[in-house]
A and B are shown apart, each in its own frame.
Chain A
Amino acid sequence: MHLPDIEHTCTELGQRLAAYLEQNNIEQPLLVGIRTGGVWIAERLQQQLQTEDGVSSLDISFYRDDFTRHGLHPQVKGSELPDSIEDRHIILIDDVVMSGRTIRAAMNELFDYGRPASISLVCLLDIGRRELPIQPDLCGVRLELEEGQLVKLSGPVPLELSLS
């Protein structure tokens, strides 16, 4: 399996995100990365786009639907969001989208902080295997992995992908 070049993919994703924002008339997007990999990607995109407000981070540990299976993640870091997300256009960013359950948890958590104007989903990689009706608005690369294979992002510097 050939993994994409991450620098190139990110740059391209940033360009498409800029176009997407313009197309949807979003002037002050709030970039929210999902811990941990999503935050790294969000920071990379923020550098490129130079949005205001920097990058917010979302820790979905308290919102996971697999608590009864896996329990609490031992390293909960907590979420860092601005005082209000009311009426903001949120760009939710994750490294890899698979089942869609993480995104579901993230959206639930966001709504406990307030009522955003919109949420768009940006992912570096989409590896399919969806279990919920959730699709990214923008996606860097779609990968077809073999059964049982997973892809992992390590970072923040340098950002690297590996298969496991």
Chain B
Amino acid sequence: MRYLHIENARLIDPSQNLDQVTDVYIAEGRIHAIGHKPATGGIEHSIDASGLLLVPGLIDLGAHLAEPGFTHKGSIASETRAACASGFTHVCALPDTKPVADSPAVIQLIQEKAAKAGFAKVLPLGALTQGLGGEQLASMFSLREAGCVALSNARAPFKDSYVLRRVMEYAATYDIPVFLNPDDAALSDAGCMHEGPTATRLGLTGIPQTAETIALAQMLLLIEQTGVRAHISQISCARSVRMLAQAREQGIRVSADTPLANLIYTDEAVTGYNSQFNVQPPLRSESDRRALLAAVNAGELAISSNHRPHEVAAKKAPFADAEPGMSIFDGFLPLALQLVERGELELAALIRATSTLPATVLGQNQSLSEGNWFNAALINPDAGQSFRRSTLLSKGRNSPVAGKTLKGAVNAVFIDGRKVFG
């Protein structure tokens, strides 16, 4: 047997409480040995990983890949490649494509495009309701069979709590995991940013925290009642963190994630009407940001990308008219490492929130342990990266890092032992 030998890497794997400098030997896509050279076989190729981090591949619980339907914003190939640039090996694709991912045919198309591109693996999230209309159930079982890891309605609202209840009941019947975005459409209607002093000053319609927490309360009660396997996508409020903790104390099995942007920015970033910061869920207050960070550090909350690429024109409009979303894949890793450098986020917590927890949510094993598929990223935390709009891998021009130089770059990404990036 011939091995890929990764030498002197700092291996961090929170699933095993591992953080040590060691050697890893990979053959036939799997990890054969960690630390000691296997007794048989020779080294085919060696990578000197001194000073580099070797982490389990990042798994994104929610990204908009823009294909099918919005190829002027991005394609599965361009966006999954950008995801690799931040160490992602898997990306859950949200169903708000055109056509909506509510039929096995669309799921198949997405899978084919992703396989052809050969970058990060795409894990499709099928729609919970037909056309994301929030009224009629999508063919959930068929979607699951077609390869959806879970189903979601993205941020599209359900018509009422009756529909939400039936959606959960039906999914629970076949043990289909559901991803739910808590957002009370009537309360967030016409809002384009966090309701707070900045919104009042700028005269922009705010989205109150209760738009999220009221919807979350309703979801938690129905999750408890229906017993559905549920994950709460993209929370933004401190209160939601507490509500989730209380629900878990009461024995409700529920996981959650927050977009990276909500850990970095607050509503004050909107001052100056920078449409770059028109995002859903909205950037909240500093106390919300701190509570989300605390939950991530405590291992209660995963981090998703909420990546959403846009062409220049989509953002070139007065703030409320600009399309919401941020193209964050290119800068995801360096931005997250900035939080680590500032002492706001522990490195192990970052890896746990972007790899270990998402893997658990999806029922995958992403651990870097002997016998497992080698899904990993090799990261140079000190390498500077200069981001220019013209050289971004994402087709989206709405990147928060364009024009900036940040520390942290991915040297290589491996999926099932194959180097797909770097």
Indicate whether A and B are direct neighbours in the complex (CB within 8 Å).
no
